[in-house]
């Protein structure tokens, strides 16, 4: 994990991504990011060494059973695989795993469906060679007539 973090941190420094204002981006309806460093929820990007791994999603309210898109946001140049994993009950994610195109944007769509009485959160997991990363994504917040995402820890 340490080697992956150092490699990703160096890549971010060299690419100029480390100063992305991800914490200030809107979580309401917004355009799909065209680069991973423009995603709205990158919890470790500003850390030391800084890891480009996170998600992009909206806080919009949804009916139970609706399918919405959550984007995994990863450092693409290393290739590998990425998963958006449900950590809870009543949350379904498709596909289970996606390959990362090393020449792509690093913004990878996943379909998320939430059932009534669901609880939990999503985690984004990237595997590159023998290393990898695992960070929290959004938390499902359910109410009487539907659900929405909130930042983990909120």
How distant, in Å, are the alpha carbons of 37, 39, 57, 123 from that of 15? 10, 16, 24, 25
37 vs 2, more confident? 37
Block residue for tokens 């990363």: 133
Grouping H, G, I as helix, E, B as strand and the rest as coil, residue 33 is coil
Nearest-angstrom CA–CA distance, 24 and 78: 27
Which two structure tokens, joined as six digits, stand for 55?
A: 């998600």
Q: Tell which CATH classification among 1.10.3470, 3.30.420, 2.60.40, 2.30.30 matches the domain 2-138.
A: 2.60.40
Cβ contacts of 51 within 8 Å, gap of 6 or more: 4, 5, 8, 9, 12, 44, 45, 75, 133, 135
Residues near 119 by beta carbon (within 8 Å), at least 6 away in sequence: 88, 89, 90, 140, 142
Residue ranges of domains in the chain: 2-138
**R_g (Cα) of the chain, nearest Å:** 15
**20-74: per-residue pLDDT in tens?**
344 554 577 788 999 999 999 998 887 666 789 999 999 999 999 999 999 999 9
Q: Is the pTM of this model over 0.85?
A: no
């Amino acid at each position: 994990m340490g080697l992956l973090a150092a490699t990703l941190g160096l890549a971010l420094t060299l690419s100029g991504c480390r100063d992305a204002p991800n914490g200030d981006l809107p979580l309401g309806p917004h355009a799909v990011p065209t680069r991973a460093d423009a995603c709205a929820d990158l919890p470790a990007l500003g850390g030391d060494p800084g890891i480009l791994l996170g998600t992009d999603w909206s806080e919009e309210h949804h009916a139970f059973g609706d399918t919405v898109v959550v984007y995994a946001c990863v450092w693409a140049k290393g290739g590998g695989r990425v998963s958006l994993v449900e950590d809870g009950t009543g949350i379904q994610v498709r596909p289970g795993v996606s390959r990362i195109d090393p020449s792509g944007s690093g913004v990878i769509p996943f379909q998320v469906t939430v059932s009534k009485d669901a609880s939990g959160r999503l985690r984004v997991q990237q595997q590159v060679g023998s290393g990898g990363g695992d960070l929290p994504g959004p938390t499902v917040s359910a109410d009487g007539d539907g659900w929405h995402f909130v930042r983990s820890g909120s």
